[in-house]
Amino acid sequence: MQLDIKNSYAHDLPELSKECLPFGFQKSEILIKNYELAEELGFSKDFLDSEKCLNIFSGNGLFENSTPISQAYSGHQFGQFNPNLGDGRAILLGEIENLDIQLKGIGQTPFSRRGDGKSALSPVLREYIVSEFMHSAGIPSTRSLLALKTNETVIRETEQSGGILARVAKSHIRIGTFEFAAMQGIGILKKLADYSIRRHYPDLENTNEKYLQFFAEVCKSQTKLVSKWMNIGFVHGVMNTDNVTISGETIDYGPCAFMDNYDPKTVFSSIDVAGRYCYANQPAILVWNLSKLAETLIPLIDDEEQKSIEKLTEVLQQIMPSYEKYYYSAMGKKLGIDPISQNNINLVKSYLQILESNSIDFTLSFRDLAKVFNKTKNIEDSVFANLDDFKRWHEDWKTQIISENTNLKNITRKMDLTNPCYIPRNHIIENVLENAVNGDMSLANEILDLYKDPFSENDNNEFFKNPSKKNVPYVTYCGT
Q: Which does 118 bind (CB under 5 to 8 A by kind): Mg ion, ligand AMP, none?
A: ligand AMP
Q: Which of 284, 275, 273 is nearest to 230 (CA)?
A: 284
The yes or no reply on residue 88 touching ligand AMP (CB under 6 A) is yes
Part in contact with ligand AMP (CB under 6 A); list of ranges 44-52, 112-120, 322-330, 336-344: 112-120
Q: Which does 116 bind (CB under 5 to 8 A by kind): Mg ion, ligand AMP, none?
A: ligand AMP
Which stretch of DSSP H or E encloses residue 154?
strand 143-155
Q: Which does 88 bind (CB under 5 to 8 A by kind): ligand AMP, Mg ion, none?
A: ligand AMP
Cα–Cα distance measured from residue 452 to residue 361, given in angstroms and rounded to the nearest whole number: 22
Cα–Cα distance measured from residue 223 to residue 55, given in angstroms and rounded to the nearest whole number: 39
The yes or no reply on residue 87 touching Mg ion (CB under 5 A) is no
Q: How far is CA 272 from the centre of its chain?
A: 18
Helices 342-357 and 388-404: angle between axes, nearest 10 degrees: 150
Q: Which of 103, 38, 30 is nearest to 70 (CA)?
A: 103
Tell the smallest beta-carbon distance from residue 90 to ligand AMP (Å).
6
SS3 content of the chain, % helix, strand, coil (to 5): 50, 15, 35
Given the residues 87, 242, 252, 338, the one annotated as active site: 242
The yes or no reply on residue 79 touching ligand AMP (CB under 6 A) is no
Upstream peptide bond of 339 is cis (omega within 30 degrees of 0): yes
The yes or no reply on residue 59 touching ligand AMP (CB under 6 A) is no
The yes or no reply on residue 127 touching Mg ion (CB under 5 A) is no
Helices 210-232 and 282-301: angle between axes, nearest 10 degrees: 170
CB of 135 or CB of 167, closer to Mg ion = 167
Cα–Cα distance measured from residue 247 to residue 405, given in angstroms and rounded to the nearest whole number: 37
Residues 252-311 that bind ligand AMP (CB under 6 A): 252, 254
The yes or no reply on residue 135 touching ligand AMP (CB under 6 A) is no
CB of 83 or CB of 264, closer to ligand AMP = 83
Is 196 within 8 Å of 188 (Cβ atoms)?
no
Part in contact with Mg ion (CB under 5 A); list of ranges 48-56, 236-244, 394-402, 471-479: 236-244
Is residue 194 part of the annotated active site? The answer reads no
Tell the smallest beta-carbon distance from residue 252 to Mg ion (Å).
4
Residues 143-202 that bind ligand AMP (CB under 6 A): none
Burial class of residue 15, CB neighbours in 10 A (0-12, 13-18, 19+)? middle
* Torsion-angle region of 370 (φ positive above 0: left; ψ -120 to 50: alpha; else: beta): alpha
The yes or no reply on residue 71 touching Mg ion (CB under 5 A) is no
Tell the smallest beta-carbon distance from residue 142 to ligand AMP (Å).
12
CB of 71 or CB of 296, closer to ligand AMP = 71
One of 8, 55, 60, 112 touching ligand AMP (CB under 6 A): 112
At residue 171, φ and ψ (nearest 5 deg) are -175, 170
Tell the smallest beta-carbon distance from residue 345 to ligand AMP (Å).
35
* Torsion-angle region of 234 (φ positive above 0: left; ψ -120 to 50: alpha; else: beta): beta
One of 217, 249, 252, 368 touching Mg ion (CB under 5 A): 252
Residues that bind ligand AMP (CB under 6 A): 85-89, 112, 115-118, 238, 243, 252, 254, 478, 480
Q: Which residues are catalytic?
A: 242
Residues that bind Mg ion (CB under 5 A): 243, 252
